Homo-oligomer: A and B are copies of this chain.
């Protein structure tokens, strides 16, 4: 079966990092460079910076008015105003003008009576140093302006320049070589053939290196060729401060990154107890850190954060720990292995003043789960998981402010939810829609548990043949409303040209079917139609094969692994499939009445009724907006 690396270990994350940084701390030497202060934004101070000048540089007028000798104004009063003459008794000053000896006080313009001949009268004595900003009031020469290892902000630039500092010593930004590897990978922009993988991780790394104070240098993909990779890495460690190899870090037949690094230097860690992301290589080659990251995007991302960023910060002086952790209640049971520390991406919403974390797809390949995530929670290595409703600590990507203005939708999937999510912040800045797709019934259950504001649903009541209202009446005791959504056509998705000539439900037995998950409205509809047609589920080949969304069903058919599946017309259009109409259905939003007054839920309603929404839905095709935005109180 070829050569496999049998020695992939399972070192705990913290131990792996400690072993590696400990070894690196003995050899890594951060470098210093001196740069102009005006170019120092976001750079990190190499040493404490002390002011060269005071600010203000001299005793300065704090107000517009006249500068006087306080001593000589004694005796002035409302009853006996004192007349002062220019040059002899005062000088006119604007805010910021120097106050020179013997002047030692400022009288504000508002308190002067102009006599018309250039002289002024005052009706109160001036106190010494009144309305004078003393030299050094803001900055005293010799004072520490910034400590070492401080990340420079705009205000710091202002203060440094005011304090007479024009050049500053900062950590040099480490140069990081990034090597994408693999014979199957192609550059973005190339038309992919079967078996090709578009190389995107290296571009993500490039951006991450920039964000964390490094200078990335991304090389063109290296084919899976032992000698080639060896010579590239060997050259790179001479020129760069750090090298990232992606991927080939696992133990497959073509995963020889670890062998190359063992030959060139020392591999300290191969394999870390983290999920996703086990196949990590932490090596040192000729005094330089070389890190092998796994190929799955989520694994790559998590391990970049776990291992690359700490090493970058050893070199660039940046402190880490800008994390924002909050406690949230997890919306469904999370089972995790005792063998791994697991990073679970979550959507976070505030419902009824409670933070709720809804887990997203957990696979290592689910890059979109990172895009959609509001944060992630960590299930420790020694834990078997968390029960629904239990608290977890979530590290947030988004601000609490955004989360507090987000409508949380959990339920059935439709493409119009994407359109709504796109339109919300455009129409009402700082108002958002977050949606998680668990099927109609799953959404109603989440609503009942207080984990969502609204639940998109399309559940047919078999007895009455009507949509949504019967099931809501059955499930909820609190006052509920139904926001009418769209009428949409359900049908059977089939390959372009309908090669098997499927005409309806009656033709499903015998073809390879892909179903939706239990509780999905589309599955309920299938079951109803099968029953009507007198077909048993066992007669449907693939009845047990579940896809989570309309688009996933469409993808399965487009990919040739299934012949048919129930879904909506817009999904068929998006994937260029044929569509066999089965019938219309009502896709609505269940909402507890008490949420209808929430400002962001009101925004949701406004957007639903907007012209922009109608136009966008028109473009998708397959919808009718007959009652859209109407509220039915149950």
Contact = CB atoms under 8 A, between A and B. Distances in A.
A502 B584 CA distance: 99
A401 B366 contact: no
Given A57-B196, A160-B200, 16 more contacts: A1-B109, A1-B112, A38-B203, A48-B418, A57-B197, A129-B561, A139-B367, A144-B419, A146-B371, A147-B418, A155-B301, A158-B301, A161-B188, A166-B188, A321-B401, A322-B401
B429 A200 contact: no
Given A135-B559, A159-B371, A161-B198, A143 B94 contact: no
Interface of A: 1-2, 4, 37-38, 41, 48, 53-59, 62, 64, 92, 94-98, 100-101, 104, 109, 112, 114, 128-129, 133-149, 153-162, 164, 166, 184, 188-189, 192, 194-201, 203-208, 210-211, 250-255, 295, 297, 301, 319-325, 361, 363, 365-368, 370-371, 399-402, 415, 418-419, 421-422, 425-426, 429-430, 545, 547, 549, 551-552, 554-556, 558-561, 571, 573-575
Report which residue of A210, A370, A561 has the largest number of chain B beta carbons within 10 angstroms of its beta carbon: A561
B195 A109 contact: no
A472 B159 CA distance: 38
Give how many copies assemble into the complex. 2
Given A64-B253, A422-B147, A92 B551 contact: no
Contacts of A555: 54, 134-137, 140-141
Nearest to A397: B153
A153 B207 contact: yes
Contact of A97 (B59, B195, B415): B195
A136 B552 CA distance: 7
A140 B574 contact: yes
A149 to B, nearest CB: 6
A225 to B, nearest CB: 16
B64 A252 contact: yes
Contacts of A136: 551-552, 554-556, 558-559
Report which residue of A37, A53, A134, A142 has the largest number of chain B beta carbons within 10 angstroms of its beta carbon: A142
Nearest to A135: B559
Q: What 7 pairs across the A-B complex have the smallest Cβ distances?
A: A136-B555, A142-B574, A135-B559, A158-B204, A154-B207, A161-B200, A140-B551
10 contacts: A4-B109, A100-B194, A134-B561, A142-B571, A143-B418, A149-B425, A149-B426, A158-B201, A159-B371, A164-B198
Contact of A92 (B128, B188, B253, B320): B253
A58 B195 contact: yes
Contact of A545 (B59, B64, B128, B402): B128
Contacts of A1: 92, 109, 112, 114
A548 to B, nearest CB: 10
A92 to B, nearest CB: 7
A200 B159 CA distance: 7
A48 to B, nearest CB: 5
